[in-house]
A and B are shown apart, each in its own frame.
Chain A
Amino acid sequence: MTDTLSWIAVGTPAEISPDTGTLRVVVEGEAVCLYKLEDGSIHATQDRCSHGNASLAEGYIEDGLIECPLHQGCFDIRTGEAVTAPCKAPIKVYPIKIENDTIYVSGEPA
């Protein structure tokens, strides 16, 4: 597969907090949240909740969902879909890849 996306290095898996499973980074001026799930997989979404003005990196991960710290609305980390109220609009999901222990995020959302 030809790699046509532009990749930006944002950190290492070890930098993702073992306590929260999240890391807030900035990609081309946009706040992005990195997640490390229980199965060890790593994902990236927009960091700002689609409902209130909150950082999802301060949220709570459970069963592949990120719960917003502000009003407990949940998003599917893999798809960005809004799963529970008050969140209705989805959040952006970013493609990632890991090479040489470095996480790369594409500036283009998937």
Chain B
Amino acid sequence: MSCTHENKPDVIEVPITINRRWPEEGYTRIPAWVYTDPAIYKKEMDVFFAGDTWNYVGLECEVPEVGSYKRQWIGDRPVIMVRNEEGDINVIENRCAHKGAQICWQNTGKVKDFTCPYHQWNYDLDGNLQGIPFRRGALGKGGMPKDFDVKKFGINRLRTVNRGGSIWATFSDTAPDFETYCGEEVLAEIDHMLPGKKLRLLGYSRQLIPSNWKMYLENLKDPYHATLLHSFYITFGLWRADSKSECIPTGGGAHSVMVSHNEGKKKTEATAEMERFRDDLQILDAETVTPRAEFNRGRVGGAWVFPAAQFGIQANSLKTRHVIPRGPDSHELVFTYYGYEDDDEDMTRLRLKHANLLGPAGFVSMDDSEMLKQVQTGISGYPESVSVVEMGGRDTEPADYMVSEVLIRAFYQYYREAMEL
């Protein structure tokens, strides 16, 4: 049995040959070379990020005015999200049509148009080339050939979609529409968090994690580690091994939905076994971990939207996570924190306060980045080693409990087929 294969992201053909053999056991094993081999990495960039996938770019509220922009990456590829003269949001390549330089060097800002610093080729907010210096030469000499047509040298504009204020883009003309790509379950999670209300940007945290990008993806598909690694969770009763949970692989294993419930601190048999559960520790400021009742009613839900984005709620903190691969052994992780325009002042304060659990120094998240570095070091030293993912069984069936690695198995089932491994 396996998870649903509807809405599975299609795969484009890429002429990269990889002479590797996946372990016989199949998707219950992960060979170390998927995290280290540069050829694997290159193929992932082409097959996934530049392929038939929809990629998270940002939130509409990040570019509020005409000319507001945000620099972003889709895999290796630098892009710019910018609001044009008509008020629509474009995603264009961050690459001059002349020599290929990035035309935008800042993370955010506001411009009238874009000018490449190298030779000052100038583009409007739709990426159209407006003019080039010395097109007619200088003092009657030189210049571009008479038939040079600026219309043919614009910057490529990606297909984009706005779902509830979140902006997605694809390089592909053949990718299905966004709704089909996500599938019902993932879409429901996005719509749950972005119900059509205007969003308000609260801030960012960014960090460079010295591990392969898939380790972060796996980490968010791995509820097994949550109560074991994150002592903060169990010590202060945020999440327990016996919490009501669900793990639902979708899109053939590419995407996933994970749900748990913040039921408060309660000592039970399951948590008593955990050596890190400390009854004698009390958090001084309980508000740090106590959500104010909201639409999610203690439900800690999250959707991983393949390849590199996650939408989730942590207490009252609403955030997107975005993974930017930086070579086989490194990735950048960006949290974008947001709220709703109709939030009262106290709710905004809580959303920010609960963001303390997340990010590079987050009470919970800091364990992950440290751990992933340790994994990268471990597997890099033993390139022929394999990891084992059999918790919860050897299948890819949705699970209604937490101690499971089903989402990782389902992901590698998809991955092997897509990567032809």
Contacts and interface: CB of A to CB of B under 8 A. Distances in A.
Contact of B136 (A19, A52, A69): A69
Nearest to B131: A71
B350 interface: no
Task: Determine chain B's interface SS by DSSP, over half rule.
Answer: loop
Among A20, A68, A72, chain B packs the most CB atoms within 10 A around the CB of: A72
Nearest to B136: A60
B136 A70 contact: no
B130 A71 contact: yes
Interface residues of B, number: 16
Interface in B120-169: 120, 122, 124, 130-136, 138-140, 150
Contacts of B122: 51-52, 70-71, 86
A80 interface: no
A86 B138 contact: no
Contacts of A72: 130-132, 135, 150
B263 interface: no
A58 interface: yes
A17 B132 CA distance: 24
Interface of A: 17, 19-20, 51-52, 54, 58, 60, 67-73, 85-86
B139 A58 contact: yes
B84 interface: no
Given A19-B139, A72-B130, 7 more contacts: A19-B140, A52-B115, A58-B139, A69-B136, A70-B120, A72-B135, A85-B130
Nearest to B115: A52
B141 to A, nearest CB: 10
Contacts of B115: 52
Nearest to B122: A71
A68 B131 contact: yes
Contacts of B120: 52, 70-71
A86 B131 contact: yes
Contacts of A70: 120, 122, 131, 133
Task: Determine chain A's interface SS by DSSP, over half rule.
Answer: loop
A20 B138 CA distance: 10
Nearest to B140: A19
16 contacts: A20-B139, A20-B140, A51-B122, A54-B133, A68-B131, A69-B133, A69-B134, A69-B138, A70-B120, A70-B122, A71-B120, A71-B131, A71-B132, A73-B131, A85-B130, A86-B113
A24 to B, nearest CB: 12
A70 B138 CA distance: 10
Contacts of A73: 130-131
Nearest to A62: B136
Interface in B234-277: none
B278 to A, nearest CB: 64
A69 B130 CA distance: 12
Contacts of B131: 68, 70-73, 86
Contacts of B140: 19-20
A61 to B, nearest CB: 11
Contacts of B138: 58, 69
Interface in B89-141: 113, 115, 120, 122, 124, 130-136, 138-140
A85 B124 contact: yes
B130 A67 contact: no
Contacts of B124: 85-86
Shortest Cβ-Cβ A-B pairs, 9 listed: A71-B131, A72-B131, A86-B130, A71-B122, A60-B136, A70-B133, A19-B140, A71-B130, A85-B130
Contacts of B136: 60, 67, 69
